[in-house]
Structures are given as C-alpha cells and as structure tokens.
Amino acid sequence: MHPRHLAAAAVVLGFSLGFAATSAAHFGVVLPSDDIVSQGEAKRIQVALKFIHPMEGQYMELDKPKRFGVRHEGASTDLLPTLTAAKGRGGDQKQDFGYWTAEYTIKRPGDHTLFMEPVPYWEPAEDSYIVHYTKVCVNGLGKEEGWDEPVGLETEIVPKTRPYGLWTGNVFTGQVLIKGQPAADVEVEIEYLNEAKKNRPRVTVPSDPFITQVVKTDANGLFTYAMPRAGWWGFAALSTADWTVKKDGVDKPVEIGAVYWVHATDMR
C-alpha cells in the first residue's frame, strides 16, 4: 500500500487481527517449493497462493483467485482447477485465514512462470480495493529460456535479472509494465518473507521503516535492489487502476500491484 495509508491500515489491522500496530504492506504470494528443478530430481512441486504481510508473517483472507496459471514457451495454461483450499496463520495471529495450494509437474524443460490474478480485496483502511498480479519463475530441467517474457497481465514485473540461481547479495532488476508499457516513477515495495528455518531464526526488525524497503522505477520502468539475506524476497510495484469496483453502489478505486518473488541462496 502507499505510505500515506500505512499508519491507518496498521491501526485497523492491529485491532481487527489482534497484533501490535505497525506499518504493514500487502503482498500477493505465489510460492513454489523450489525455484529450480534439475535433471534427475522429482519434477512435482508444491505451490502456495497467499495474501500476507511478508516481514511480519501475518495472513489475510485470500478468496479463490480469478486466474491461476503457468506461462511456458509462449503459451499460458489454466491451473485454476488444481487449487485446493487451506487455512493458516502467522506471527501472533489468533485465527486462521484462507489460502490455496496446488501441485504442478514440470513436464518439459524451460522456464515456467506461475501467475495469479486474485479477485479484488476490500481494504477498509484505504477505502479501496487491492488486486495484486503475482508471478514467480521456476526453472525446469536445465533449459534457461522464457524467464524474461511478459505474461500479459494488466500490470506485471518483467525480470531483467535471471530470477533464479541468485546468491545472497546479488541484485535483482525488474521492469514494471502497465498495460504492456514501461511505468516510470512507480513505487516498488520490497519485503522479505520472514519465516523461521532450520539454523535461520526470524529477522528482528529494529523499527518500522525496516519492514518495507522502497525504491522507485526510472524513466524506463526499471528498478534494482540487492537482496541482503537468503530466502524469498517479494517486489510489489503499486499503481492505481483506471477502473473501479462498486461497493454498496459506490465506485471505489483499485490499487493494482505487480508482484514478483525471487529466491536468494547463501554461498557455503
């Protein structure tokens, strides 16, 4: 969400979900169990679709998406029928929230871009709806082609850095498109998926500005960020749609987000 809304949204979420009020950004999530499937490995991956505050690990309700699919070798395949409903919670949340899971099998070599278009999510603190068009790339069986191709979503991030096989500290560069055109001076929010792993505890945030990193695109819609820690990083480029959604008979604005997820790995 935009900075002018962060404080208000945090207060409302704090009271409604029962956690301390902090600045929190919304992120759509399409999270594969692995972003690289090598020759000889199991070809089936697990995929989770969520709507969360990544750094704080808190869920929001995700209704069944409008679209869920995969782009491979220039063609898109509908994966919506593969979704299964699930429940989860994070942080100190006291209730479960809905998300979705799926299995996807890598049958052919090349890059497989999984993407989601959710139904509009009503955010009362902003008096607007939110739609996050979310993508992630899974490399399959050694063929590194297709990762830089647009899917054709209303807004999306097209990677200019190969989005897999990245070390911690590598930079990620993406180009933000709106209706297929580069989007200049668009705010990009960046958050770390702050989950505890074996030998890797959750990050402790010293103050609110560390929760969400912020950069802006240049005249060509490009942005760059260096990922300082191993794990999943989300990039959300935010703008306002040129269409509205009615609520109680009133037209409400829609924040559209182009979201992309990238994984960084420590050298050992």
Q: CA-to-CA distance for 28 and 42, rounded, in angstroms?
A: 27
Mean pLDDT of 226-247: 98
**Of 31, 40, 19, nearest in space to 91 by CA:** 19
Residue 93: pLDDT band (50, 70, 90) is: very high
247: left (phi over 0), alpha (psi -120 to 50) or beta: beta
- Give me the percent of the chain exceeding a pLDDT of 90: 85
Q: How does residue 196 score in pLDDT terms, banded at 50, 70 and 90?
A: confident
- Between CA 105 and CA 109 the distance in angstroms is 11
Q: What confidence score (pLDDT) does residue 217 get?
A: 98
pLDDT of 24 reads 67
Q: Which of 116, 98, 134, 118 is nearest to 238 (CA)?
A: 134
Query: What's the CA gap between 241 and 253, in Å, rounded?
Result: 7
Q: Which residues pair with 235 in a beta bridge?
A: 190, 260
pLDDT single digits (tens) 94-119: 999 999 999 999 999 999 999 999 99
In this structure, the strands spanning 36-37 and 128-140 are: parallel
* pLDDT score, position 141: 95
Burial class (CB in 10 A: 0-12, 13-18, 19+), 242: exposed
| Residue-wise pLDDT tens digits, 162-185 | 999 999 999 999 999 999 999 999
Mean pLDDT value of segment 10-15: 34
Write out the two tokens for 62. 């995700």
Binning pLDDT at 50, 70 and 90, where does residue 256 land? very high
Strand partners, 252: 245
The more confidently predicted of residues 115 and 40 is 115
pLDDT at 10 over 70: no
Q: What percent of the chain has pLDDT over 70?
A: 91
Predicted confidence (pLDDT) per residue in 19-33, tens digit: 333 346 999 999 999
- Rounded to an integer, the average pLDDT of 209-225 is 98
- Rounded Cα–Cα distance for residues 81 and 100 (Å): 11
The region of weakest confidence among 6-15, 192-201, 257-266 is 6-15
Q: Please, what is the average pLDDT of the chain?
A: 91
More confident site: 226 or 19: 226
